[in-house]
Structure 1
Amino acid sequence: MIVYRSLLFVPGTRSDRFGKAVAASADAVIIDLEDAVLPADKDRARSESLTWLGAWRGRHLGLRINSPRTAFGCADLAALAGSAAAGRADFLIVPKADTAVDLEIVAEALGRKIPLIPIIESGRALSNAFEVARQATGGVLFGGVDYSASLGADLSDWDAMLTARGMIAAACGAAGVPAYDVPYLDTSDTDGLAASTRKAKAMGFSGRACIHPDQVSAVNAAYAPSEAEIADARAILAAMEAAGGGVALHKGKMIDRPVILAAERLLASVRST
């Protein structure tokens, strides 16, 4: 399974920006047919996006469809099912995934396997987080904007969103899929973006969505391991190898299986970037 540090959204109505978004150094780009598109523009956005996808020959490009519980979502699925261009997408973002059934509908409608990344953005969805994560073949995205609005909570208050982030991280950990954090809405606040991204990383989030190209470098940097972390991971594996399978210590602490796995995962992330 591919794990992305940064996922950059681009409106489905702005096909002139698709190429620029791809060139913005994000790990993946998501063409958005949902929130970024007005109802009157849904058909045009769908048509233009699929046309562009049909000519796409690169990788790491996703598509956010409308909720399969809506008429727009059903139209998206019908168009995707009948279009060879849909095969160019590396994953689909499924918004408002309140239950695992939403993902089953999408998978069955398309009739083929494609990684699905549901968005948990309501109290109902959060209550089903573990069930949804088990069906999420590409990871789970925290839809904090809609979630906070449904609760009357403050998205910018880290503590107010702590329970939701913790449950999503735990559900993704149990399912073995990456958790992706909500976009940071203040595109001019680079320091705030970097700080909150580091907090999300510490909680177990693997990456974050971005709404502006200028956010990509800060998110990528926050998820990139430091030279000290890389050296530490290498030292852990070297100590384990030197012990020949026996008890090994690193900086006075015993090295156990979770520590080894964490070191291997960190070094693998370095090799994949």
Structure 2
Amino acid sequence: MTRLPTYRSLLFVPGTREDRFDKAARAGADAIIIDLEDAVQPSRKAAARETALVWLANNSKGVDVGLRINSPRTPEGNADLAALAASGLRPAFIMVPKSQTDIDLEIVSEATGCERILAIIECGRGLHHAHEIASRSPCGILFGGVDFSASLGADLDDWDALLHARSVISAACGTAAIPAYDAPMLDVSNNAQLIETSSQSRRLGYSGRACIHPDQVEPVNEVYVPTAEELANAKGILSALEAADGGVVLFNGKMIDRPVILAAQRLIDRARP
């Protein structure tokens, strides 16, 4: 399978707000997500679906555009799949909310013919099946922290309260060699907390984060892009590997084994020009 991109920022835009689609595409996010699920009232689902597909068919903004459908376990989700399949359109990825098992993703892939799936884990059952979900979600997994915390009665803003869930998702994504994306922050005015928690999730192995407002995009991009020092170190490791020509690899006096080499390559792959 072709290597799929890793994003730093994914910006949600409501499927009912066609007037914001172009603005979102120009906001500097690595990808935008037209949302047909949480951001759309039940009475407006059909209209949002039609609007999103028309815009996708004519999109030439040069930014990756994903589509968050409704859960395939719901009638609205089935309607989304039928409309997407009939349109013949292929978004950059299909985001599948409330993924509980890998069967959810299999249904979406088979119904649409699209394998570019990005799952959202936002309940205990989904977390229990995180590794199976990761195996069928080549575009990555988004931690649905808002719904997950609500299902537990946990504090969304307490990092420690959701650390276990974030860690499980990070481990599952690492095993499957796919990116993990952190939940959006609801307080769009608190950039200091956005940067702090994004830095924490990056240290945990997350590659990027969802955003719900254009003002969040730039701080998120800055956190998740590798620094010049990190890139230089990673490139030095790969250069040492090449120079060793099959022998023991040493870099800065340390012996470098395969996991370190793979981590260096992943970091370089994440770098943006």
TM-score (ref. length: structure 1): 0.94
Say which of 65, 71, 80 aligns to 1:76. Answer: 80
Structure 1 residues 168-179: aligned runs within 5 Å = 168-179=169-180
Q: Which residue of 2 aligns with 1:53?
A: 56
Distance (whole Å) between structure 2 residues aligned to residue 245 and residue 193 of structure 1: 43
Q: 1:264 to 1:75 in 2, by over 3 A?
A: same
Amino acid at match of 2:37: E
Counterparts of 1:130 and 1:75 in 2: how far apart (Å)?
28
**Structure 1 position 254, deviation (Å):** 1.2
- Point out the more displaced range, 127-136 or 30-39: 127-136
Q: Secondary structure at the match of 2:220?
A: helix
Q: Verify the 8 A CA contact 1:59 1:90 in the aligned structure 2.
A: no
> Which of 47, 63, 74 is 2:67 aligned to?
63
| Match runs of 1:150-229 below 5 Å | 150-229=151-230
* 1:243, distance to aligned residue in structure 2 (A): 3.3
Change (3 A) 1:242 1:176: closer
Code of the residue aligned with 2:16 in structure 1: it is T
- Is the 8 Å Cα contact of residues 94 and 117 (structure 1) preserved in structure 2? yes
Cα distance in 1 between the residues matched to 2:38 and 2:111:
22
> Where does residue 4 of structure 1 map in the other structure?
7
Instruction: Name the residue aligned to 1:102.
Output: 104
Report % sequence identity. 58
Deviation per CA, 1:55-109: give whole Å up to 9, x if none: 113441000000111111111111111113x22x111000011111111111121
Q: Note the C-alpha offset of 1:262.
A: 1.8
Judge which range, 221-230 or 146-155, deviates more. 221-230
Distance 1:54 1:244 in 2: 49
One-letter code aligned to 2:77: G
Query: Match of 1:218, SS?
Result: helix
Kept after mapping to 1: 8 A contact 2:71/2:98:
yes
Q: Within 2, Cα distance between the matches of 1:217 and 1:13?
A: 24
Counterpart in the other structure of 2:29: 26
Measured in 2, the distance between the counterparts of 1:83 and 1:76 equals 11
The structural deviation recorded for 1:229 is 1.2
Stretches of structure 1 that go unaligned for 5 or more consecutive residues are none
Amino acid at match of 1:157: D
Count of residue pairs the alignment pairs up: 269
Q: Secondary structure at the match of 1:7?
A: strand
Deviation at 1:250, TM superposition (A): 2.4
Matched letter for residue 242 of structure 2? E
TM-score (norm 2): 0.94
Q: Does 1:35 align with 2:57?
A: no
Distance 2:240 2:95 in 1: 41
> Aligned partner of 1:98: which letter?
Q
C-alpha separation between the residues in 2 aligned to 1:138 and 1:244?
33
- In structure 2, do the counterparts of structure 1 residues 238 and 109 end up closer, same or farther at CA, with 3 Å as the change threshold? closer
User: CA offset at residue 240 of structure 1?
Assistant: 3.1
Q: Structure 1's 241 and 101: CA in aligned 2 closer, same or farther, altered over 3 A?
A: closer
- Separation in structure 2 between the aligned mates of residue 217 and residue 59 of structure 1, nearest angstrom: 15
Partner of 2:126: 125
Matched residue SS, 1:138:
coil
CA, structure 1 residues 225+72, in 2 after alignment: closer, same or farther (shift >3 Å)? same
**Helix, strand or coil for the counterpart of 1:82?**
helix
Tell me, yes or no, if the aligned pair for 2:32 and 2:63 is still in contact at 8 Å. Answer: no
Give the letter for the 2:101 counterpart. T
